[in-house]
Chains A and B, each alone.
Chain A
Amino acid sequence: MDIIRKNVKYIIAGLLPALLIYFIFVLYPIVRSFIYGFYDWNGLSEPIYTGLNNFKIILTDEVFWQSFKNNIFIVLFSIFGQVPIGLILAVILSRNIKGAGFFRTAFFIPMMLSTVVVGLLWSTILNSQVGIINSILEAIGLEELTQNWLGDPKLAMLSICAVIVWQCFGYYMIIFLAAIQNIPEEILEAADIDGAGELKKLTNIILPMLWPTVMTAVVLCISGSMRSFDLVFVMTGGGPANATELMATYMYNKTFAIYQYGYGSAVSLVISVISFGLIIISRSLMSRNLSD
């Protein structure tokens, strides 16, 4: 038995393909990006070592801070948008109402579409000429509310966030639904016997038991928002006037539009550090809340 389980030949043959492809296309590039971050390099000529210079430029660039603020805005909008909406709908649908299956299926559909499809669809819907949003407002006599949703720097970020909520709330709903279904029946039955009303059951039993799931959802919001790129890239490209610039679009524009590979690597390093940092902070904050 152990002769097989410790057979080095088999172990190597089984693991090598996975390790090799993973190393070449994931791990090695990450290590390289750490290194490039300290160089000035246009991708063609010999890289020049510049120490922390790239990081200095990033941290003093107003556009970077604007994009950082926008990322944080998306994180907060997601935490206070998708998470509560998903939670409310999950609580409603967990009560065995008629058609629950249909609603569950329907709410998850946007999550299936590629972000590019969602971006192009909503760009058209929000379009100030042919879009349906403005047409609806005109049809119900609220013409003064019609807007250039993606062209107005004050509104563009809000419009993008609304689209993110539209696409993702179903995902959070499913996660919460699964968690609610894991709450043991007996606990809820015991509460019934004690005469607890629906609202009491919700606030005293269901929500506290869902707290770990809420925590997971917040972490997902953070990591998802930090990664977001496709939607903004397709809908606004970071414009108008950097109003919707994200750290990822900033990195893309710096790297591939003006060929600053060293600088772009430094930006991606900063993004990784920020998103890991945020996840750690939010985890510790929320676990402290739990023990209170």
Chain B
Amino acid sequence: MNENTEISLKHGTSNRSISKIALCFVLGMASIITLYPLIWMLYTSLKSNKDISMSTFALPTTLHFENYANAWKQANIGTYFINSIIVSVTAIIFTVFIGAAAAFILSKFRFSMQKGVYSIFIVGMLIPLQSILVPLFIQMRTLRLLDSLWSLILTYTAFGLPITIFIMESFMRAFPDEILEASIIDGSPIYKMFLKIILPMTKPAIASVVILNFLNNWKEFSFALIFISVEQKKTLPLGLYNFLGAETSNYAGLMAALVISSIPVIAIYLLLQKQVIDGMTAGAVKG
């Protein structure tokens, strides 16, 4: 408010309203370009393929909810959806427990090579996925894990560790060292203290780590593409990729499938916007 009055004092009203119109125009255009494709995806998913070929713009005349039912059942989206849930959630549970234990040791214990171990994990944030695709495929083949959801669960766990340890270690470092002393006095074993005191205290960090890893795992495509080839084990991104090949011009069905796979991430985003954005930019702000 203050700022605006000051501008008008300096530049007069006409100048101010021109710049205001320009700003509105820029923001309006940017919003249309960003949102219209998504809105189009939503209403196209409710049209019939005949309607789509007659006019791409027109809103649906009757709502074809059966597109969703067909995508879920006939196009296997239901199976992919459940696989994606299993893989994402299992990998998160592993990442959080394993990562929290490592972060706890790295932040509160003292040993030689401590810095080195920490750096090894952090460097993982910079590793381009491509440098690992081929050897990891061979590794999975050796371990006989191809076409098993475990190949994805273990890979996502390993790839989630660097950012998880980074976030949790810096959070736990702020805890007072007396926490450890309390455990000696109590005489309770350290793993009990870790589960009952440390983990609950780390809740905010766990929340961002869980969200971040869920989004990464949910969206991941490259590893799924090379590890999984059987229909019953495909995750959503991989299943969607095959959708077009299988049903060439079923655009209504495709849009329904895209909407189904986007609902969880959009819901998480709208409900937990602050944590989502903080988590996704945590790596970037660090550089």
Supposing A27-B120, A261-B138 touch, asked if A229 and B130 sit within 8 A by C-beta, the answer is yes
**Is B62 engaged at the interface, CB distance under 8 Å to the other chain?**
no
Chain A residues with CB under 8 A of B77: none
Q: Is the CB of B23 within 8 A of A268?
A: no
Report the separation of the CA atoms of residues A109 and B287 in the bound assembly, to the nearest whole angstrom.
23
**Is A56 engaged at the interface, CB distance under 8 Å to the other chain?**
no
Report the separation of the CA atoms of residues A96 and B262 in the bound assembly, to the nearest whole angstrom.
31
Chain B residues with CB under 8 A of A110: 34, 38
Chain A residue nearest in CB terms to B53: A130
Q: Is the CB of A18 within 8 A of B101?
A: yes
Q: Is the CB of B101 within 8 A of A17?
A: yes
Chain A residues with CB under 8 A of B135: 29-30, 32-33, 36, 265
Name which of A72-80, A145-153, A170-178, A203-211 contacts chain B: A170-178
How many chain A residues touch B (Cβ–Cβ < 8 Å)?
A: 96
Q: Is the CB of A223 within 8 A of B126?
A: yes
Q: Mark B104-137, 1 if CB is under 8 A from A, else 0.
A: 1110111100000100110010111111111111
Q: Is the CB of A114 within 8 A of B190?
A: no
Q: Mark A1-38, 1 if CB is under 8 A from B, else 0.
A: 11111111011011101110110111111101100100
Question: What's the nearest-Cβ distance from chain A to residue B48, in Å?
Answer: 13
The one of A111, A135, A264 in contact with B57, judged by C-beta atoms closer than 8 angstroms, is: A135
Q: Is the CB of A22 within 8 A of B130?
A: no
Chain A residues with CB under 8 A of B108: 5
**Is B246 engaged at the interface, CB distance under 8 Å to the other chain?**
no
Chain A residues with CB under 8 A of B133: 251-252, 255, 268
Q: Is the CB of B138 within 8 A of A32?
A: yes
- 4 new A-B pairs (CB below 8 Å) besides A1-B177, A26-B127, A103-B27? A4-B180, A26-B159, A124-B254, A229-B222
**29 interchain pairs, CB-CB under 8 A:** A1-B177, A1-B181, A4-B184, A10-B190, A19-B117, A25-B136, A26-B132, A30-B132, A92-B26, A103-B27, A105-B270, A108-B277, A112-B215, A113-B262, A114-B236, A114-B237, A120-B241, A120-B258, A121-B41, A130-B56, A130-B249, A166-B33, A166-B34, A171-B284, A174-B277, A178-B281, A234-B241, A271-B130, A272-B127
Tell me the B residues contacting A by CB distance below 8 Å. 1, 3, 6-7, 10-11, 23, 26-27, 30-31, 33-35, 37-38, 40-41, 52-53, 55-57, 94, 98-99, 101-102, 104-106, 108-111, 117, 120-121, 124, 126-139, 141, 154-155, 157-159, 161, 165, 177, 180-181, 183-184, 190-191, 215, 218-222, 225-226, 236-238, 240-241, 243-244, 249, 251, 254-255, 258, 261-262, 265-266, 269-270, 273, 276-277, 280-281, 284-285, 287
The list of the 9 closest CB pairs from A to B, nearest first, reads: A114-B219, A25-B158, A18-B102, A29-B135, A14-B105, A116-B237, A33-B135, A32-B135, A14-B101
